[in-house]
Amino acid sequence: MNQRQTVAERKAAGARLGKNGDGAERHEAIYRSISDAIIEHRLKPGARLREDALAEVFGVSRTGIRKILQRLALEQLVTLTPRRGASVTRPTADEAKDVFDARQMVECGLMPEVARRITEAEVHELREMARREREALKGGEQSAAIKLSAAFHARLAGISCNATLADFVGRLCSRSSLILAVYGNAGHLGCESHDHDDLIGYLEAGNGERAAAFMSRHLKAIEASLSIVEEEGEAPNLHEIFGD
C-alpha cells in the first residue's frame, strides 16, 4: 500500500474492498503498513496504538483493526495490555538476549541440513538477497537493509524444509528487526557487509559445520553491536505517520 495516500483515499480504497473496508486484502495491506512503521521506527517503542484512531486513519472497523493488532502481537511487535490496549513493544536488554540466544540455538542447528539440501538456484537467490542488502546499506536505507537481512535469514531456514522451525525463525527475525531498528547503529547491522556472502560460500560447499560456526559468530557480532538505552514512550500522530 502506498504510504503517501491521503486518509480520504485510504477510506475510499477500503470502501471498495467491502463494508468499512474490512476485506482480506485490505487487512493485509494495513498489517504491512503498521509493521513497516514499527520496523522503520516511525512508530516508536511504547507508542500507544488506539483502535479508534487507527480505524479512522485506515477507514476500517475497530474489529478489523483489533484482528490486525492481535496478529502483530503474535509476532511480538505489539503488546496488548488489558484495559490499556495496544502499544508498540519495547524490547528490553533481557528480551534482546533471549531472542539472540534462541536464534543461536535454532539457526546454527539448521545449517548442516541447509548445506545438505541447498541447490544452485537457491545459492543464486541468496546471493541476490545479500547484494540487495549491501546496496540498501550503502544507500543509507537502514530500515530496508534490516528487513532484507531478516528475509535472508528466514529464507535460509526455509531451505531446511522444516516448516515449523522455519516459521519460528521468521518470528525471531521479525523480533530482531525491531530490536535492531531501535538499538542498532545507523548504517551498520553489527556485522561485516560480506558476512552473508561468506556464509553462502560455506553452504554452497556443503560444509554445514563451518556454516554453523560462522552463523554463531555472525549472530554474536550483531548482538554485541546493540546499544540498548531506554526511551520514554510518546503518543504518535497516526495521521502524520500513515497520511501524507
Q: How confident is the model at residue 15 (pLDDT cuts 50, 70, 90)?
A: very low
pLDDT at 5 > cutoff 50: no
Which pLDDT band, with edges at 50, 70 and 90, does 140 fall under? Answer: confident
Q: Cell numbers for 215, please give them.
A: 552463523
pLDDT in tens, 70-81: 999 988 889 999
What per-residue confidence (pLDDT) applies to 231? Answer: 56
- pLDDT per residue over 198-237, tens digit each? 999 999 999 999 999 999 999 999 999 888 765 555 667 7
User: pTM above 0.75?
Assistant: no
Residue 71 phi, psi (nearest 5)? -65, -45
What average pLDDT does the structure give for the chain? 85
- 143-172: per-residue pLDDT in tens? 788 889 999 999 999 999 999 999 999 999
Nearest partner of 241 among 16, 89, 49, judged by Cα? 49
